[in-house]
Amino acid sequence: MLIPLLAAVLALMVAAIALPKAVTMAPLFWTHLAVAVGIMTLITAAMQHFVPVLTRSRGASRWLARLPGLMLAAGLLACAVFAGWLDYDFVTVAAGLGLIGAVIMLLWMRAKGRASLGRPHPGLDWYLAAMVCLALGLAAAASIPWLPEWHGPLRAFHSHINLYGFIGLTAIGTLQVLMPTVAGQADPEAAARLRLDLKWALAGSVLLALGEAGVPFAVWPGLAAWAWPLLKMALAWWRLHRARLFALHGSEPVLFAALLGFALALAFLLLKMGGTFTRLNVFLKRLDEEVIPLLSKLQMTLEEVNSQLGKLDDMMGTLVGVTDRVDHTTRAVSSAITTPARKVAGLSAGVSEAISSLVSQRGRGR
């Protein structure tokens, strides 16, 4: 079953490359025809071949060998969605089928590792990490129809965790196993590199995906994390296989070209980030030219307002002083008027009392 499946997948990949100029379809259709139908199915089938070698165990069972067919169906369903033949909600169904296949592959590889004769080859861990990245990317894709406000970040994470995680980890892990085999020359440091460098490559994949999903400060650490294992690998190959890396025939130049291709993908992202920083510099320049003068004018206006408020405060102080003087004058005038009035009132009361007493005495004398 594997040979017809691989032939069909390769034919679809060729179609995805050759037909876009002849057939009008959405770009996402051709992308998923190449990646979801082609690469995801091929990698799943290749892992089923390499994992038993890495674990020194039996190959995949008859039923598990049909799993690449499930991945192929998931990819074709996604293509049908982006061709407009199915409603967009079927993205969840397509991604869900792929996620089921990824989980089955993870469980199978874990079981193979535990059943290995001796310690499994460290390349198995790279395949496990790659399949985890595929599962994360498919889970993000399945969520897109239900979280439309997160469509952009989820789509970016889905694309880049598959590129740098699923494809990148699978490719680099496989290349380090294949090169000593095809070159016929042992690489005594390959196993140690695979064990030590997986954490950097996996962290780099996740950081790059998060950076493209809207966390820009994660891109630079992600690039640095991926650059470290690639540099160590390239230096080891240069030291061991220098004479054959640029030959016109043989497998070594093909494997070296694959390494350079992935490195160029990271370099493209670096250039993309350079463009982002250029736009950021333009924005900051405009900020300096337009906003800073505006803030300066606002500061001058505030200073004028503060000056006017200071004058108003002086006026209020003067007004309070005038009010105090008026109050003092009013109290003085009131005192000047009230005191004689009290005296007159007292005098009037005394005169009135004396007249009343005199009248009373005359009345009794009669």
Q: DSSP secondary structure string, 73-91? A: HHHHHHHHHHTTSS-TTHH
Mean pLDDT is highest, among 158-172, 295-309, 319-333, 334-348, for: 158-172
Q: Is the pTM of this model over 0.85?
A: no
Residues 6+ apart with CB under 8 A from 53: 121
Q: Which two tokens stand for residue 184?
A: 């016929």
Percent of all residues in the chain with a pLDDT value above 90, rounded to a whole number: 52
Q: 142-146, 153-157, 179-183, 354-358 — which is least confidently predicted?
A: 354-358
The pLDDT of residue 298: 55
Specify whether the backbone of 249 is left (phi greater than 0), alpha (psi in -120 to 50) or beta.
beta
Rounded Cα distance, 64 and 162, in Å: 22
Q: How many CB atoms lie within 10 A of CB 26?
A: 13
| C-alpha torsion sign, points 297, 299, 302, 303 | negative
Distance CA 289, CA 278 (A): 16
* H runs (alpha helix) in 83-145: 90-114, 123-143
Give 318-362 pLDDT, tens digit per residue. 655 655 655 565 565 555 555 554 554 555 555 555 556 655 555
CA atoms within 13 Å, Cβ hemisphere of 364: 5
Lookup: tokens for 271: 């250039």
- What would the mean pLDDT of 202-220 be, rounded to a whole number? 94
More confident residue, 48 or 352: 48
Q: What is the DSSP string of 335-348?
A: HHHHHHHHHHHHHH
Give mean pLDDT, residues 200-220. Answer: 94
Residue 283: strand, helix, or coil = helix
| Contact between residue 219 and residue 273 where contact means Cβ atoms under 8 Å apart | yes
Q: In this predicted structure, what is the pLDDT of residue 342?
A: 56
pLDDT band at 303 (very low <50, low <70, confident <90, very high): low
The radius of gyration of the chain's CA atoms, rounded to the nearest angstrom, is 44
Indicate the residue type of 231: L
325: left (phi over 0), alpha (psi -120 to 50) or beta: alpha
- Quick one: residue 59, left, alpha or beta (phi over 0 = left, psi -120 to 50 = alpha)? beta
What crossing angle do the helices spanning 190-212 and 219-241 adopt, rounded to 10°? 150
Q: For 101-152, what is each residue's pLDDT tens digit?
A: 999 999 999 999 999 888 899 999 999 999 999 999 999 999 999 999 999 9
Please count the other Cβ atoms lying within 10 Å of the Cβ belonging to residue 365: 5
Residues 6+ away with beta carbon under 8 Å from 358:
none
Q: How far is CA 179 from CA 120, 186, 239, in A?
A: 19, 9, 13
Residue 161 vs residue 297, higher pLDDT: 161
Q: Phi/psi at 324 (nearest 5 deg)?
A: -65, -40
Average of pLDDT values for 52-58? 92
pLDDT above 50: residue 51: yes
Write down the pLDDT at residue 340: 56
8 by Cβ neighbours in 10 Å (0-12 / 13-18 / 19+) ranks as middle
Please tell me the distance from the alpha carbon of residue 305 to that of residue 213, in angstroms, as a whole number: 46
176 pLDDT higher than 80: yes
Name residue, tokens 């090169």: 179
CA 92 to chain centre: 22
Residue 284 pLDDT greater than 50, yes or no: no
* C-alpha span between 83 and 29 (Å, rounded): 6
